[in-house]
């Protein structure tokens, strides 16, 4: 089987040379230890946090080790098992990494129902991105009907769920995204009230003006996925006692200097008496069962729409990941094996 390892840490932008495709062999079934399961992956999830793990900088998690399989969430099928709960053919998701096959302890696998919903959904709406959206909306922002919510990277895996959950609650929802096609999708298919295409504007002023026009009553709730000038534009529109769920700062993940994140409107945090809460969804495993149950119900009832961008074959993963970091994806970026 094939796998991709981290060959070198990126300096600035990620390049294909940072990865290496390797061929590896699995131990035979007879060598499986008790509780171990052999899985053939069908899908790999590509996520922005992987950029953080590729660098050595101190963060909330340990860096990805060099020459080891790249970290990543996967969904696939059991091929062989020495765990009582898993049979060959069962569908599972786990953190098996950028690899076509893997051996994992059954305790680290989640059995999923690929009959009611497609398998890939367990990596997006019914996986980490969906729970991230749910946590930010319910536990941090505590969104209420009538409030104006702004979400950046609005067409992506997390942002698309954030906006739809807020619409279901009765918020007025404004997305910020890059490109006309993304904005059309966000309004026409996801049902947001409006969308600001930040790529259309050369100056900060134009972006701020456009956001002002889209948020005539200001911003009560901000779900921030991007950071930098996008975040700054939203800060300028904060209402008194606004709440901010600081989820991601992708605009700075590949930057070499802290200046990339300099904010001109940070004073608004004080003058508007705003509350800002950063969070890491994997620190809140206690809410996952409730979040996943609610999201599953909404998915089965077809109340949540989603899009996937699927790269074909493991070898396509590095370029798909580089594309994700520069906004080439619409919806959830996956790799299918
Ligand atoms: P997405 O599917 O949203 O893909 C990333 C998107 O980010 C791109 O499509 C692009 O959209 C946008 N983007 C990239 N670079 C820039 C830039 N320089 N300026 C503006 N936008 C940019 O990814 P996810 O939904 O998986 O993740 C969204 C955010 O949430 C990330 O910041 C991620 O790190 C964070 N996250 C945080 C978690 C937590 O626990 N705190 C958990 C999961 C995700 P566009 O074309 O619209 O710019």
Compute the C-alpha angle 10/12/17, nearest 5°: 35
* Residue 73 exposure: Cα atoms within 13 Å on the Cβ side: 22
Per-residue confidence of the chain (337 residues) as pLDDT tens digits?
999 999 999 998 999 999 999 999 987 878 899 999 999 999 999 999 999 999 998 888 899 999 999 999 999 999 999 999 999 999 999 999 999 999 999 999 999 999 999 999 999 999 999 999 999 999 999 999 999 999 999 999 999 999 999 999 999 999 999 999 999 999 999 999 999 999 999 888 999 999 999 999 999 999 999 999 999 999 999 999 999 999 999 998 887 655 456 799 999 999 999 999 999 999 999 999 999 999 999 999 999 999 999 999 999 999 999 999 999 999 999 999 9
Q: Walk across the sheet containing 238-246 and list its strands.
A: 194-197, 172-177, 148-152, 219-224, 238-246, 275-278
b/e map 199-233, b = 16+ CB within 10 Å: eebeeeeebbebbeebbeeebbbbbbbbbbbbbbb
Round to whole Å and give the CA distance between 128 and 245. Answer: 16
Which architecture, in CATH terms, is 128-282?
A: 3-Layer(aba) Sandwich (3.40)
Angle of the 128-135 helix axis to the 157-169 helix axis, nearest 10: 40
Please give the pLDDT value at position 70.
Answer: 98
Ligand 1 pocket: which of 51, 248, 309 to mutate (most atoms within 8 A of CB): 248
Q: Closest by alpha carbon to 135, among 108, 167, 161?
A: 161
Compute the C-alpha angle 312/315/321, nearest 5°: 80
Which residue's CA is minimally distant from atom 35 of ligand 1? 248
Task: Please tell me the pTM assigned to this model.
Answer: 0.97
Q: Closest by alpha carbon to 77, among 47, 117, 105, 37?
A: 37
Please give the pLDDT value at position 262.
Answer: 75
Query: CB atoms < 10 A from the CB of 279, how many?
Result: 15
Please give the pLDDT value at position 58.
Answer: 82
Residue owning tokens 């922005």: 48
Which residue's CA is minimally distant from atom 10 of ligand 1? 327
CA 167–ligand 1 middle distance (angstroms): 20
Show me where the domains of the chain are located: 2-123+307-336, 128-282
Cα Rg of the chain (Å, integer) = 20
Ligand 1 atom having least distance to the Cα of 176: 47
Strand 36-45 to strand 101-105: parallel, antiparallel, or no bridges (unpaired)? antiparallel
Ligand 1 atom having least distance to the Cα of 283: 40
List, in sequence order, every residue forming a beta bridge with 177; answer none if it has no partner: 197
Please give the pLDDT value at position 48.
Answer: 97
Phi/psi of residue 26, each to 5°? -80, 150
Ligand 1 atom having least distance to the Cα of 230: 20
Residue owning tokens 């004073």: 267
Compute the C-alpha angle 26/315/159, nearest 5°: 105
Please give the pLDDT value at position 285.
Answer: 97
Compute the C-alpha angle 300/311/128, nearest 5°: 45
Please give the pLDDT value at position 260.
Answer: 55
The domain 2-123+307-336: what is its CATH number?
Answer: 3.90.180.10
0.90 surpassed by complex ipTM: yes
Pocket of ligand 1 (CB under 6 A): 47-49, 128-129, 132, 153, 155-159, 177-179, 182, 225-226, 230, 247-248, 250-251, 279-281, 324, 327, 329
């Amino acid at each position: 089987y094939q796998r991709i390892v981290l060959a070198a840490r990126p300096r600035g932008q990620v390049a294909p040379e940072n990865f290496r495709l390797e061929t590896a062999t699995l131990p035979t079934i007879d060598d499986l230890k008790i509780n171990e399961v052999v899985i053939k992956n069908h899908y790999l999830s590509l996520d922005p946090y992987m950029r953080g793990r590729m660098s050595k900088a101190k963060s909330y998690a340990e860096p990805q080790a060099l020459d080891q399989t790249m970290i990543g969430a996967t969904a696939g099928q059991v091929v062989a098992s020495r765990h009582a709960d898993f049979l060959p053919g069962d569908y599972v998701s786990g953190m098996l990494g950028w690899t076509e096959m893997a051996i994992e302890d059954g305790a680290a696998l989640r059995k999923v129902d690929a009959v009611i919903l497609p398998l890939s959904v367990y990596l997006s709406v019914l996986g980490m991105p969906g729970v991230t959206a749910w946590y930010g909306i319910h536990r941090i922002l505590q969104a209420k009907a009538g409030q104006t919510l702004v979400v950046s990277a609005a067409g992506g895996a997390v942002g698309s769920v954030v906006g739809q959950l807020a619409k279901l609650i009765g918020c007025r929802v404004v997305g910020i995204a890059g490109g006309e096609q993304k904005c059309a999708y966000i309004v026409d298919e996801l049902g947001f009230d409006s969308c600001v295409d930040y790529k259309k504007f050369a100056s900060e002023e134009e972006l701020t003006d456009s956001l002002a026009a889209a948020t005539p009553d200001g911003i009560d709730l901000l779900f921030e996925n991007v950071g930098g000038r996008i975040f700054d534009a939203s800060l300028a529109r904060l209402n008194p006692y606004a709440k901010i769920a600081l989820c991601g700062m992708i605009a700075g993940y590949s930057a070499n200097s802290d200046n990339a994140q300099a904010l001109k409107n940070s004073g608004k945090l004080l003058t508007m008496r705003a509350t800002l809460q950063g969070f890491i969804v994997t620190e809140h495993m206690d809410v996952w069962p409730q979040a996943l149950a609610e999201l599953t119900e909404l998915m089965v009832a077809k109340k949540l729409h989603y899009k996937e961008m699927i790269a074909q074959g493991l070898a396509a993963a590095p370029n798909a990941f580089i594309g994700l970091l520069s906004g080439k994806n619409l919806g959830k970026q996956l790799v299918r094996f």
